[in-house]
Structure 1
Amino acid sequence: MTSTPLLLVLCGAGEDGSWPWRSRPEAGRAVVGAALFELAVARRLELSDDRVVPYGGGLTHDTVPDEVLRRVGAAGRERPPWEWVESLGPGVLRLVEEECAGLGTLGERVSEARARVRDAAAAPDGSDASALAAAVLLVAARQGHLVRPAARPLDRVRRAAEAVALLELVAPRSGHALRRASAAVRRSIAVSAAALAFLG
């Protein structure tokens, strides 16, 4: 199964390998959120509202989650999820883009990824938590047009919230991890926007 970070980035990739994200920082934040989600579901780290703590153990052999585990483990102090989303975004986006570049028939993979994520968002039932997580995180990162092209932004946000609530019912660990990861992405974007406004 395709990892959540890779699935998310494939949704934003052009068939020629270009990256039509409106904002690369927001794309990077979503990728870190996807890695935090996967690691929390796999019980490789504790993801709460105010801290990220690794449980220990070896690496996952998946490039992006392993980079997040290494950085969190080497930090020496607890930090909230949104700070990790903010600081790791640019680096992990480059890593997952490099992974995409080595996939070969990218156009086919992009089409499959978008269809999978949109299907999970259209009829969320928890059966494909990775695709649903990618959809929710894309909305959190203000890239909801990749999930629901014709919907209004507020409708995308509302449907994403409903999807998280449903996942919490059918798969509580996944649902709780997704709620915290998406909240971290949103807060990182909000903090960055507030800082820019202050400087302006």
Structure 2
Amino acid sequence: MTSTPLLLTLCGVGEGGSWPWATRSEAGRAVVGAALFELALTRRLELSDDRVVPCGGGATDDVVQAQVLRRVGGSARARAPWEWVERLGPDVLRHVEWECAGAAALGALGEWVGEARARVRRAAERPDVSDTPALAVAVLLIAARRGHLVRPTVPPEVMVRQAADAVALLERRTPHSGHALRCASAAVRCSIAASAAALAFPG
């Protein structure tokens, strides 16, 4: 269980593979953010505040990451990370829902979810930069306003501050990873905030 998108997916689902989120689109956006982070980490994509650029590095066996690579690589123009989070969220969510349904049918989903949440909680509480995918999932869940899934007793404002501290720590220890996580988490926050504003002030 090393893929960041898979790890976030397992932390995000509820009983039977349902998503206990405010909207399904938020779940998809968080998973796209995890895929962007992982692809930047493996140097298949380059992230900045205003663009995502393919940079090679070979294929990936992860279905979600492969879909993101294909869409970014086939785009006629460079787009900001938050735009990809916005555009790809619905399709990505369908893929991870299929995976969760398969695990649920095998009777393995509950165990996998418990293990994933425990791992992410451990990484967040230290914070543990030796488990970068788990720390990234903690930060991305907080960016998506769902940090309580792994840290139910911590107030939201405290989690936001701790997420910022974790990103800063990762940037000091491994600058490339920290930069990728900062860009990916900002993209998730920006996308969700933009949608909330559009709903609050339609037209």
TM-score using structure 1 length: 0.95
Q: 1:193 to 1:19 in 2, by over 3 A?
A: closer
Residue identity in the other structure for 2:166 = A
Distance in 2 (alpha carbons) for counterparts of 1:194 and 1:100:
31
Task: Identify the match of residue 159 of structure 1 among 162, 172, 175.
Answer: 162
Cα distance in 1 between the residues matched to 2:190 and 2:18: 28
1:30 partnered with 2:30 = yes
What's the % identity of the aligned pairs? 73
Moved beyond 6 Å, runs of 4+ = none
- Do the aligned partners of 2:16 and 2:101 also contact (CA within 8 Å) in 1? no
What's 1:114 paired with? Answer: 117
> 3-state SS of the aligned residue for 2:46?
strand
Which deviates more from structure 2 when the two are superposed, residues 6-15 or residues 35-44?
Answer: 6-15
Question: 2:171 touches 2:177 (CA, 8 Å); kept in 1?
Answer: yes
Indicate whether 1:72 and 2:72 are aligned: yes
For the pair 1:95 / 2:95, whether they are aligned, the reply is yes
1:141 is matched with 144
State the alpha-carbon separation in 1 of the partners of residues 140 and 17 from structure 2: 21
- My pick for the range that moved more, 111-120 or 49-58, is 49-58
Paired position in structure 1 for 2:200: 197
Structure 1: gaps of 5 or more residues: none
Tell me how many residue pairs correspond in the alignment: 200
**Normalised by the size of structure 2, how large is the TM-score?**
0.94
Query: CA deviation digits over 1:36-78, x for unaligned, max 9?
Result: 0000010001100000011135421110000000000111100
**Map of 2:3 onto structure 1:** 3
Q: How far did 1:142 drift? A: 0.6
Paired residues of 2:64 and 2:92 also in contact (CA < 8 A): yes
Cα distance, 1:172 vs. partner? 1.2
